[in-house]
Amino acid sequence: MGVSTRAVDDHIKRNCLSDDFTKHTLNSGNLARMTNILQNLLDQRGLLLADGATGTNLFAVGLQTGDAPELWNIDHPERIGTLHRSFVEAGSDIILTNSFGGTHYRLALHGAQDRVAELNTAAARLARTEADKSDKQVLVAGSMGPTGEILEPNGSVSIAQAQEAFAEQARALAAGGADVLWIETISSAEEVTAAVNGAAQTGLPIVYTVSIDTNGRTMMGMTPAQTLSISASLATPVAAVGTNCGTGASEVVAAICNFNAAASVSGVQPVLVAKANCGIPDYVDGKIVYSGTPELMANYVHLCANAGAKIIGGCCGTTAAHVAAMRQAMDEWQAGDPSPSSDTIAETLGELSQGARAQMAGDLSIAGGSATGKGSRRSRRSRN
């Protein structure tokens, strides 16, 4: 099932000012301020609240370990719609589609590699329906997770092959009504490049976030500073960049501090995104339970905003109840407090890795912010 070019073009015309979208005004690559639907809403509201988890919330209503959540866009659309609605009612400004594993690489694990267009278009339509019921503007972000493959030069899949897989997914999400394409939980520079270049074929605004889950770095060794620098080599401007998932709220706040410090050095002012797991997962009575309380996630919002994040949400374990507490915290937040120190983050949200602390102190060496050491990867995920 294909997606027509006309359907994509019509949606872009409604949601993106293409002349301004292709321009960037800062001198170091593609993290410039752009005129797009995401930036317009940010200008109106100051901070934006993204939604919570998809996968872990679907487990609570019947999804089984090993199942593909994307199949539920067709098999159980009412359950997907209910989840989206819960986040909208909790106060989210942005909701992500149920399409994290929507490339043909991931769908092939479930024999659904030929259903990319069908499943992703349905995912966007379900989110679009619930967003449009709201009295306020709610954006639909088309979730695009990693392929699950190791790209060249370390693996067998080429950047061009991955780019085409992401483009196929992006076209379907755009046709279904996504306002933004939201690339998340990426670990390598090669996959960021492939995903952004693939998504760029739609003309929609693009967000990319990486998972800082290995002692202040991604699994493939990237620091926040290195993640930020990727944008300079991209042919397409991105609307926002940041981090999601990882090993808890404390590491995400530290990463935002490090993103912001790197941006200051580079002379750019990117829109920074934080979407943290709701605490650390534990097995309780045979189920995975995340330790974060609504109070902890509210504190996380304040610290993220103080650190410089403009779009804040939750990842694994984050329910609508957590998002409602985050909404209240965001509404109560006032600018003026300094960026949090590593000690403040640890005291408020929990332990920080050696690498994150080292980077916050300005040490970006292999010794200081290495990919080994105290940092844990207990919450590394394949589904949010």
Give pLDDT tens digits for 117-155: 999 999 999 999 999 999 999 999 999 999 999 999 999
The residue ranking higher by pLDDT, 365 or 279, is 279
Direct distance between the N- and C-terminal alpha carbons of the chain, in angstroms, rounded to an integer? 27
State the sign of the Cα–Cα–Cα–Cα dihedral 5, 7, 11, 17.
Answer: positive
Question: Helix H segments across the chain?
Answer: 5-15, 18-21, 37-45, 55-59, 72-75, 77-90, 104-107, 116-132, 159-176, 189-199, 224-229, 249-266, 294-307, 320-332, 342-349, 354-360
39 to each of 110, 130, 250, how far by Cα in Å? Answer: 37, 21, 27
Whose tokens are 């619930």? That residue is 130
Return the structure tokens found at 244. 């999601």
Mean pLDDT of 258-270: 92
Q: Which residues pair with 273 in a beta bridge?
A: 242, 311
Comparing CA positions, the residue from 178, 91, 168 lying closest to residue 143 is: 178
Please state the pTM of the whole predicted model.
0.88
Beta strands 206-210 and 240-245, pairing class: parallel
Domains of the chain: 5-360 (3.20.20.330)
> What's the pLDDT tens digit per position in 16-66?
333 232 223 233 345 544 568 999 999 999 999 999 999 999 999 999 989
- What contacts 334, CB < 8 A, 6 or more positions away? none
User: Residue 76: exposed, middle, or buried by beta-carbon count in 10 A (0-12, 13-18, 19+)?
Assistant: middle
> What's the pLDDT tens digit per position in 283-335?
888 778 898 999 999 999 999 999 999 999 999 999 999 999 999 999 999 99
Per-residue model confidence (pLDDT) at position 275: 98
183 to each of 6, 17, 64, 160, 360, how far by Cα in Å? Answer: 23, 21, 24, 17, 25
State the sign of the Cα–Cα–Cα–Cα dihedral 284, 54, 59, 99.
Answer: negative
For 279, which DSSP code?
A: S
CA atoms within a 13 Å half-sphere pointing along the CA-CB vector of 236:
23
Beta strands 281-284 and 272-276, pairing class: unpaired
The residue ranking higher by pLDDT, 10 or 280, is 280
Per-residue model confidence (pLDDT) at position 24: 30
